[in-house]
Every structure is written in structure tokens, then in C-alpha cells.
Structure 1
Amino acid sequence: MLRLSKDEAIRFLGKQGILAAFVIFMLVFALAEAKFISADNVLSVIRSSAIIGVMALGVTFVVVSGNLDLSIGSMMSFSTIVVLDLHDKIGPVLAILAMFSLTLLLGALIGFLVGYLRLNSLIVTLGMLSAIHGLTLTYSGGKNMDISDKSSWFSFFGQDSVMGIPVPILIFALLAALLGIILSKTPFGRKIYAVGGNGTAATFSGISRSKTVFFCYLISSFCVATAGLIQASRSLGSQNTVGQGLELEVLAAVILGGASLLGGAGTIAKTVVGVLMLGFIQNGLLLMGLQFYVQFVVTWVIIILAVWLDIAGKRGKLWSPLA
């Protein structure tokens, strides 16, 4: 009979504890509500999780590099409003190009402040959260945006399907595959892990920490722009606060996937698992008749549990020793 020592058990919890908890959640939901595991419900959950998932892919790069990005919610609102506003003015193609360009500029600004000026990422992105929100309100004049031509091909990204698979799911899957290869199979990916694991050692090894962090934020902003495109295409209209609060869900999904807030650990594949875990847990709670606001409490509990298990797994102790 296989037995684990206390230290081995703690390390296992730090790596797989949340996954075990997810399996238990799934079993409970499946027993409580039969349609939870139906094909239609599963596809619906994955589709509704695509926007959070796409943003989480980019944030994974930032977190693995040892930083945070709390500006993604406001940035997604900005991207959505801009592409909707420009759609009727300059056409969908130019609107999409302009929206991606502006969003990448915001990402480059954050990357410059955190990467090259070495400012604290929490402070910078928290400040940018408010700044971009103000920019969005200023741009929109405090109004919501809608596309006049509801038959525009622009709806393809959020409403159509290819071979029975919703386009948002395909975008999420293709982007996950591409970024997964970049993070795990390329020299740039190895630099990200080195910078996040030990920035000083990485610098002495000839790795440019500043450039690496800068490009991580560019990747994150590209993913946010993609999420904004899906959101705008799905509804062909949006409130100017559509992304408000999403940074919490995205960060929760990334942490659930095993990325360490201390940097140097995390994968795209596990982030995808984290996104799906969060989506199915929220869906299960709704199917069981719990009000939507219960999701916020559950999300908070999951984040605290994930961070605790992550830190416990690294220090080898469930409880911090007294100073």
C-alpha cells in the first residue's frame, strides 16, 4: 500500500489539491442536477468561459514572470467600446485593427512602467485600472455603444459556429495552443520562467528582465483585445463597464491552474483547466438554485484556498511558523 509522508502529502496538496476539490465539486453537481453533464450544458459553459479564458492566457505570462495585471477588466471595456464605436464609422476591418493597436499601446505603457522603470506591478496596474476606466468613459461620453447593422459579418467572432463548434471556443483553443507552445517550447518562454523564478540570477545569466516583462504585458494586452472582440461581436453592443470586475475572475482562474503568485511556475494547459474549473463550479451553483451573488463568495474562498495550498506546498508546511 502506497503511503505518503506528511511533507509529500503537503506538496501533493499544493500541486493537485484544487484538482481533487474540483472533482468532488463535479460529482456533487452531477448527482444534484442531471443536466449538469449534458453535452449542451458543457458546451455552453465552455463558450461562456471563453472570454475569461482568453484573458487568463495572457495573464499567465504576466504571473509566471513574477508580476500582476489588474488592469485587464478596464482594458477589456475599452477595447469593446472602441471597436463597437469605430465599426459604423470606418468599417469592421479598420475598427478591429485600430482597437488592437490602441489596446497594445496601453499594454506597452504598462510593460514600460513595470519592465523598464521597475515600478511595482500591483501599484501600476491598479492605477491603470482606474485610468483606463476613466479613458473609456471619456471616449464613450458615458454612453453605451451599439452597432447599427445587426447583420454585419462582425458577429462571426461571437455568435457563429464552425463545424458545430462555437467560434469563441475555437479562438480560445487556438490561442491556448499557440501561447502554450510559446511558453513551454521556446527560448522566450524559458526566459519568462527564469525571470519569474529568480530575476537577479536571470539578469546575471544575460537575460533582459526588462524586455521579457515588457513583452509579457504586450501578450496580455493582445489577449484582452481578443476578448474584447469576442464580447463586442457576441452582443453587437455593450455597456462601457462590461469588463469591470473580470480581473478577479481571471486571476482566480490563473491561480486555480497552479500559477504561483511568487512567479516562475504555471502553464497554459493548467490555466485552461483553471478556467474550466471556475466556469463549471459557477454553473453548478446556479443549477443547484443558488443566487448568482453566491458565486462571488465561492470565488473568494477558492482563491484563498488556492493561494494557501500554493504557499504551503513551497514552504512544506500548512501553517506559517510564529515569528
Structure 2
Amino acid sequence: MAELTKKGVAGFLARQGILVAFVVFMIVFAIANPRFIDIDNIFGVIRSSAILGVMALGVTFVVIGGNLDLSVGSMMSFSTIVVLDLHDKIGPTLGIPVMFAMTMALGAFIGFLVGYLKLNSLIVTLGMLSAIHGLTLTYSGGKNMDIADKEGTWFGIFGQGSIAGVPVPIIMFALLAIVLSIILSRTPFGRKVYAVGGNGIAATFSGIPRARIVFMTYLMSSFCVATAGLIQASRSLGSQNTVGQGMELEVLAAVILGGASLLGGAGTIFKTVIGVLILGFIQNGLLLMGLAFYAQYVVTWIIIILAVWLDIAAKRGRLWSPIA
């Protein structure tokens, strides 16, 4: 009985190591500062993490499919600037769908290059990072963007509104996570994404349209980026044209922290959400502890490495590699 119990605990840790690490971090920060578990603080952290989280949901599909997307930061800047500009030119009712179409066109182009032309995703998306940044600066004329009439628009609901006391960005993040989790775990498309990322050649010989699946993952990623851009633009009704610069690394860190493999074929939406929350709550906890902002970067890095190490150790049943 004791042996079965031990195996059961080990099995749980192997499956949910990152979740256990998240709970441990929450307990430590709560002990260090009781304000950490205040409901307003928790809502504030999740709300501020929603933009990063929404982007990470889409990138999860790309990574599980065996590829990378380093263009999401500059693409988010593009979508934010475009929707703010179109708000004043044609109104938010038309501006929002047009922005989604333009952003997803960029995602489709990347998906075509990686999926159908079979170009290296790292090189393609790294190049698109610079190209889309240049496109954003060209579109905006190098200027930041602001809505002219901030008082007379309903556009702010996406970033500033709340429903039953719950901020709208949190609701959008949660709903999108639920829908995408169902798509990834309970649909034929989701199973094909895992198959393509796990072994692309075997998937092709099994009759799975590998190029189309890769194309669709980038299309889904760009949809999520457009959603994040909508929230960002709505939050302050204005934006710098570099608002998303550098976010691609944070997004990738959240996805990998959540357990997705850079080699493809492994990962879940739920654990990506946990990865996003770990990043958000670590930064918030360190802030409440009064740590200098420059020291927070180092401590955050150490905690991320520790969390990933504990997760991997739980899966292999030992702290150190057997070949070390």
C-alpha cells in the first residue's frame, strides 16, 4: 500500500510538477507579504498578465507543432497601432475586424513560408520581427497613436471594462484559454498538431496534411496576437509604436515554463496559463517585497530555472540527470 501511495505521489508530481511549483511560490510570497493574496492584487496581476497570456495561448499551438514564433511582439505593436488608427478613421465597429484581418494576413504569410515552403521557423519569424516592426513604423509615420475622443467611445470596454466585478481582459483570457484548450485536446485538429510536432515525417506518411496544420497554427497565433493588441489599445486608448517590443521572449518563456517542448509534440493550454501566471505573480511578489527592479530580473530568472528544474526532476524521478 505504501509503495502504491509513493508511486501515486510520484506520478502526480511527474504530471503536475509545474503546478506544484506555482503553489509553492504563491505560499512563499503570501507568507512574505499578506497583501499578496488580497483579491484586488490577484485580479490586478491576472489582468496585467492577460495580454501576455493571450499571446502565449496562440504560440503554444506553434511550439507544440514543432516551430517557433518570434514575430508576436512586433505583430502586437502593429495590431495595436492599426486598430487605434482605424478607430478614428472608420470607427471601432469596422476598425476591429479590419485590424484582425490585417494581422492574420501577416500570420498567414508566415504560415505559408514555414508550412508550405518549409523554411526554418526561427529564421523566418526572426526576419519577420524586424519586417513587421518596420511596417508598423511606416504605417504610423514613426509616431505614437492616440484616440482623439477618449470620452465618447465604447472602445475602452476591452481593456478597462468589467463584468460582475471581473475585469474584461481576464474574462477574454479565460474564455480564449477554454476554447483553445478544447480545440487542442478534444478535436482532430489538436491531435494532428501533436502528431506533426512529435514526428512530422511519420505524420505525413500517416496522411496528415503537415503543411496545412503548420499554416493553421500560425494563423491561430496571429488571431491571439490581434486579440492582445485589441486589449492593449483599449487599455489606455493610445500606444507607443514599440509597445510589443521584446514581448516575444516573455511569451516564449511562459510557454516553455508551462512545459511545452521546444522540440514539439508536448504541451497544454492549461500549463501555458500556469506559466503565464507564474511570471506575473513572481514579478508582483518581488515588487511587494520591495526588491529593486534591476534585482527582480535576476531573481525572476533564478526562480524560472528552479521551477523548470523541479518540473523535469519530477518527471524523471531524480534531481540530477542519470548521465551527469
TM-score, length of structure 2 as denominator length: 0.91
Q: Does 2:249 align with 1:248? A: yes
**Structure 1's 141 and 166: CA in aligned 2 closer, same or farther, altered over 3 A?**
same
Partner in structure 2 of residue 72 of structure 1: 72
1:256-295 aligned at under 5 Å gives the runs: 256-295=257-296
Deviation at 1:12, TM superposition (A): 7.1
Determine if contact 2:18/2:311 at 8 Å carries over to the other structure.
Answer: no
Q: In 1, distance between residues paired with 2:313 and 2:31?
A: 32
**Structure 1's 305 and 132: CA in aligned 2 closer, same or farther, altered over 3 A?**
farther
Partner in structure 2 of residue 101 of structure 1: 101
User: 1:160-190 CA deviation, whole Å, 9 max, x = no partner?
Assistant: 1111111111111111111111111110001
Determine if contact 2:75/2:129 at 8 Å carries over to the other structure.
Answer: yes
Q: In 1, distance between residues paired with 2:203 and 2:314?
A: 24
Q: Does 2:189 align with 1:181? A: no
Deviation at 1:261, TM superposition (A): 1.1
**Structure 1's 306 and 36: CA in aligned 2 closer, same or farther, altered over 3 A?**
closer
Letter in 2 for 1:210: A
Deviation at 1:300, TM superposition (A): 3.5
The DSSP-based 3-state class of the residue aligned with 1:265 is coil
The DSSP-based 3-state class of the residue aligned with 1:153 is coil
Determine if contact 1:255/1:306 at 8 Å carries over to the other structure.
Answer: no
Partner in structure 1 of residue 321 of structure 2: 319
Partner in structure 1 of residue 200 of structure 2: 199
Deviation at 1:51, TM superposition (A): 0.5
The DSSP-based 3-state class of the residue aligned with 2:293 is coil
Deviation at 1:302, TM superposition (A): 4.8
Deviation at 1:295, TM superposition (A): 3.8
Partner in structure 2 of residue 156 of structure 1: 157
User: 1:187-217 CA deviation, whole Å, 9 max, x = no partner?
Assistant: 0001000001111110000001100000000
Letter in 2 for 1:42: I
Deviation at 1:17, TM superposition (A): 3.7
Partner in structure 2 of residue 84 of structure 1: 84
Q: In 1, distance between residues paired with 2:181 and 2:117?
A: 28
Partner in structure 1 of residue 140 of structure 2: 140
Q: In 1, distance between residues paired with 2:88 and 2:144?
A: 14
- Cα RMSD, aligned residues only: 2.2
Deviation at 1:20, TM superposition (A): 3.1
Deviation at 1:315, TM superposition (A): 7.8
Deviation at 1:321, TM superposition (A): 4.2
Deviation at 1:22, TM superposition (A): 2.5
Partner in structure 2 of residue 19 of structure 1: 19
Partner in structure 2 of residue 222 of structure 1: 223
| Between 133-142 and 56-65, the greater mean CA deviation after superposition | 133-142
The DSSP-based 3-state class of the residue aligned with 2:68 is coil
Partner in structure 1 of residue 213 of structure 2: 212
Letter in 1 for 2:122: L
Deviation at 1:299, TM superposition (A): 4.2
Q: In 1, distance between residues paired with 2:322 and 2:71?
A: 31
Determine if contact 1:55/1:224 at 8 Å carries over to the other structure.
Answer: yes
Deviation at 1:24, TM superposition (A): 2.5
Unaligned runs of 5+ in 1: none
Partner in structure 2 of residue 32 of structure 1: 32
**Structure 1's 91 and 174: CA in aligned 2 closer, same or farther, altered over 3 A?**
same
**Structure 1's 207 and 313: CA in aligned 2 closer, same or farther, altered over 3 A?**
farther
- Provide the aligned length of Structure 1 versus Structure 2: 319
Determine if contact 1:255/1:303 at 8 Å carries over to the other structure.
Answer: no
**Structure 1's 248 and 258: CA in aligned 2 closer, same or farther, altered over 3 A?**
same
The DSSP-based 3-state class of the residue aligned with 1:177 is helix
Partner in structure 1 of residue 171 of structure 2: 170
Q: In 2, distance between residues paired with 1:301 and 1:67?
A: 26
The DSSP-based 3-state class of the residue aligned with 1:293 is helix
Q: In 2, distance between residues paired with 1:243 and 1:206?
A: 38
